[in-house]
Amino acid sequence: MYDSDAEGTQPSPPASLEAGLTFEDVYASLADAVYRYCRSQLRDPDLAEEAAAEALAHACQAFPRNRPEPSWVRAWLFRIAHNAVADQARRAARRRALMGRLLMRPTPGIDVESAVDVRDDLRTTLSAMARLPERDRAIVAMRATAGLGYGEIAEILGMTEEAARVAGHRAIKRLRTAVQGHD
């Protein structure tokens, strides 16, 4: 389903699964955070919802086989969500390119920040996040929406923990300065 198969490439989950943890628990605890993460990465709320739904469904299917233990399940799920976001972004880019060729004119990106359901302060935040480099945007969003540790983020994004920490701190400082300057 994804360009990077989460089932095959994610960090090896421990073999043991704490008794009682079900995907129902995972969904109840983290579905909102997954959507927030997807929404913070994709400017189109519809694409974000599709990415979140795909990530959750994929995780549901993979859960009994991967058997992530409770201390790892958050990073495991957000790795899937990160891949789902990347996949949606690529699909959207392909659609835009195709539409551009068909219509013989460039197709602007979807300015979803103008959607009525996006509040002013959130719109400002998302606009500022959209200007961050993709990797930095993912780092700060994984911290803010799921509270992932930098070690976990580093494994998901394929970088060192120290590099993730430095990039995250710098990015969120820039982000806050930009948003508060706008406020």
Partner 1 sequence: MTDLHDDLNDDERWLRTRLEAIHTPATLSRRYQAILERGRSLSPRRWSVARSLAGAAVLAVLIGAAGAAVGIRLRGHSPAPALSAVAGPVGTPSARVDAAMAYDPANGTTVLFGGSGSAGVTGDTWVWDGEHWHEQATAAEPAPRAGASMAYDPQSRRLILFGGVALSPLPPGSCPPPMLPLDRPYLNCQELHLTDTWAWDGGRWLAEKPQHHPLNPVSATVMVTDQVRGAVVLLEYGRSSPPTSPPAAVQLYEWRGGDWTALDSTGPSPVLEQWSSLAFDRSSGNLIFFAAQGTCSPADFCAAPVPITNGRQQTSALKDSSWSSKADGPALVMRGRLVEDGGRTILLLGETTTSDQPSMWSWSQDRWAPVSAAAMPPAGPTAALAYDSARDRVIAFGGTAPLKPLHCLTEACSPHPINETWEWDGSHWELVSPGVQPTPLPTPTPAPTAELTPPPFPSVDWSSQNYPVNCGGKSTGSVAAYANPEPGANLAVVLATCRAGAGSPPVTVLVYDDSGPGGSPHLRQTLLSGEDNWLPAPNGTTVSGMDLSITVYGYSSEAVPRCCPDLHTTLTWKWSGQKYVATKTEPPHLNYQFPSPSA
Q: Does 134 interact with partner 1 (rule: CB under 8 A)?
A: no
Short-list 58, 177, 63, 62, CA closest to 124: 177
| Helix, strand, or coil (residue 24) | helix
Burial environment of residue 34 by CB neighbours within 10 A (0 to 12, 13 to 18, 19 or more): buried
Phi, psi of 112 (to 5 degrees): -75, -15
Segment contacting partner 1 by CB under 8 A, of 9-17, 103-111, 154-162, 165-173: 165-173
Q: Which is nearer to partner 1, 53 or 110 (by Cβ)?
A: 53
Short-list 110, 98, 2, CA closest to 47: 110
| Helix, strand, or coil (residue 11) | coil
Q: Does 182 interact with partner 1 (rule: CB under 8 A)?
A: no
Residues 54-83 that bind partner 1 (CB under 8 A): 54, 56-57, 60-61, 63-64, 70, 73-74
Segment contacting partner 1 by CB under 8 A, of 85-93, 106-114, 130-138, 172-180: 172-180
The residues of the shown chain that bind partner 1, judged by CB under 8 A, are 21, 23-32, 35-36, 39-40, 45, 49-50, 52-54, 56-57, 60-61, 63-64, 70, 73-74, 117, 119, 121-122, 125, 140-141, 143-149, 169, 172-173, 175-176, 179
